[in-house]
């Protein structure tokens, strides 16, 4: 994206701040985090900060003043010695010109400048309660302003959560964001294809993970969007399992939930496939059930419906299938409506069918409509989907052994997940460059 896009977003925030009486917004990026001794984790910017700035360096703070509608960046200064060790830095002057800020200063001048910027501001806007360290900084700055009270200087008298406005903005994607997400989905799909084709009995989960990571980086992704799940056999029934050293055995399924991040935007794909390339009859039975549930959820995803509608559609299909297969005995759980009302299905399907996706894999944004006067949080209706919202569609079924569970289904864990963009009449799937039908998966693995 060019600097104009970020400037337009900042203008929207200025408008939001003005409607609330105006003031100063302070938004820090994420800190660098030490992994051990003198080694850091790979750096990743804060999504809110990046959404308004496009600036990816650590040790940066964005300050917005709605009174004169100016954006000021505080960032690391140019430093030839540190650049020899750590790489290029923009520095304040180049950052201002490249990213379209009104002013920019070295980060080590923030403390001395921010008090003057906060002086007589009606309100302070910042991510409330997100970081204890940043909260302490804010209190320090406010104390410095209040110390000038005898000189006639006043501190902000109100505080607003800046993230509330940004959450609403980020829920609906623009054309540039969707273009990046489409490409991220394509890269991730190619990685899943590679893993399916590479899989053989006797391989280890971490070897399949390596195939995924190679494909992500080979096509320009900066990193995985999240820790890859590569779960074979009974491990697939552990929802947040991480790729380990378990051997992929002949006759087992392998569930891979893995995807890349590209230019600050995530993708999210899950596929489940047979290690030996052919589904057994019980595996195929449950796989087709989950696929039918996903299709029901996809069919229910369009502008104007509730966020809960796709989940409810998937639950009906899955619960009916559980009754038909005997996973839920009819003499114990009754009719389909009875089993849904009692939530009996949650023994084998215990998560939601989707979540927002965007800059974060579990992206920001409320799942309920904004509150109106007198409404408590639990009373607000489910969010109504609008065009260009993005969400995942990911039903699953996870069968752990039990005396009342048909043995042929033991240790079968299946999830199928795609990324979807809401359209007026339906949804666009961004991640279907990897097969999803059982016959197509088997055909791919035979190649």
Catalytic residues: 38, 240, 257, 268, 351, 355, 362, 394, 398, 415, 417
Phi/psi at 254 (5° precision)? -125, 125
Question: If 0-12 CB within 10 Å is exposed, 13-18 middle and 19+ buried, where does residue 380 land?
Answer: middle
Distance linking the first and last C-alpha atoms of the chain: 39
The 10 Å Cβ neighbour count of residue 140 is 12
Question: What b/e string do you get for 414-440 counting C-beta neighbours within 10 Å, with b at 16 or more?
Answer: bbbbbbbbbeeeebebbbeebbbebee
* Contact predicate 125/10, CB 8 Å: no
Between CA 181 and CA 221 the distance in angstroms is 11
Q: Which residue has the tokens 């002013």?
A: 103
């Amino acid at each position: 994206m060019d600097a104009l896009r970020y400037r337009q977003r900042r203008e929207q925030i200025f408008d939001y701040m003005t409607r609330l009486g105006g003031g100063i917004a302070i938004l820090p990026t994420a800190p660098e985090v030490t992994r051990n001794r003198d080694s850091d984790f790979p750096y990743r910017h804060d999504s809110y900060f990046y959404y308004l700035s496009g600036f990816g360096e650590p040790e940066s703070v964005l300050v917005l003043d709605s009174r004169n509608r100016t954006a000021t960046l505080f960032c690391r200064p140019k430093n030839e010695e540190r650049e020899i060790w750590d790489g290029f830095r923009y520095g304040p002057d180049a950052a201002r010109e490249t990213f379209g800020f009104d002013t920019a200063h070295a980060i080590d001048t923030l403390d001395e400048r921010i008090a003057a910027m906060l002086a007589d501001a009606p309100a302070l806007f910042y991510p409330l309660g997100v970081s204890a360290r940043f909260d302490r900084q804010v209190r320090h700055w406010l104390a410095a302003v209040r110390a000038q009270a005898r000189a006639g200087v006043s501190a902000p008298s109100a505080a607003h959560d800046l993230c509330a406005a940004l959450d609403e903005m980020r829920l609906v994607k623009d054309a540039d964001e969707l273009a990046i997400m489409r490409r991220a989905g394509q890269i991730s799909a190619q990685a899943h294809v590679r893993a399916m084709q590479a899989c053989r009995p006797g391989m280890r989960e971490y070897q399949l993970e390596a195939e995924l990571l190679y494909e992500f980086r080979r096509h320009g992704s900066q990193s995985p969007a999240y820790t890859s799940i590569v779960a074979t056999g009974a491990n697939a029934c552990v929802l947040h399992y991480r790729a380990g050293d378990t051997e992929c055995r002949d006759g087992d399924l392998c569930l891979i939930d893995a995807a890349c991040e590209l230019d600050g935007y995530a993708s999210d794909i899950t596929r489940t496939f047979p290690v030996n390339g052919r589904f057994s009859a019980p595996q195929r039975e449950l796989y087709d059930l989950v696929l039918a549930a996903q299709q029901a959820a996809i069919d229910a995803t369009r502008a104007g419906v509730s966020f809960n509608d796709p989940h409810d559609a998937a639950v009906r299909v899955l619960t009916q299938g559980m009754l038909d297969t005997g996973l839920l005995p009819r003499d114990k759980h009754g009719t389909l409506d009875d089993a849904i009302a009692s939530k009996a299905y949650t023994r084998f399907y215990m998560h939601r069918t989707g979540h927002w996706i965007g800059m974060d894999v579990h992206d920001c944004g409320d799942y309920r409509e904004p509150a109106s006067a007198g409404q408590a949080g639990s009373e607000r209706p489910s969010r109504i989907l609008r065009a260009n919202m993005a969400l995942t569609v990911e039903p699953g079924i996870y069968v752990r052994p039990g005396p009342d569970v048909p043995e042929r289904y033991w240790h079968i864990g299946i999830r199928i997940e795609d990324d979807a963009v809401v359209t007026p009449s339906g949804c666009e799937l961004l991640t279907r460059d990897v097969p999803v039908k059982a016959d197509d998966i088997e055909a791919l693995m035979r190649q």
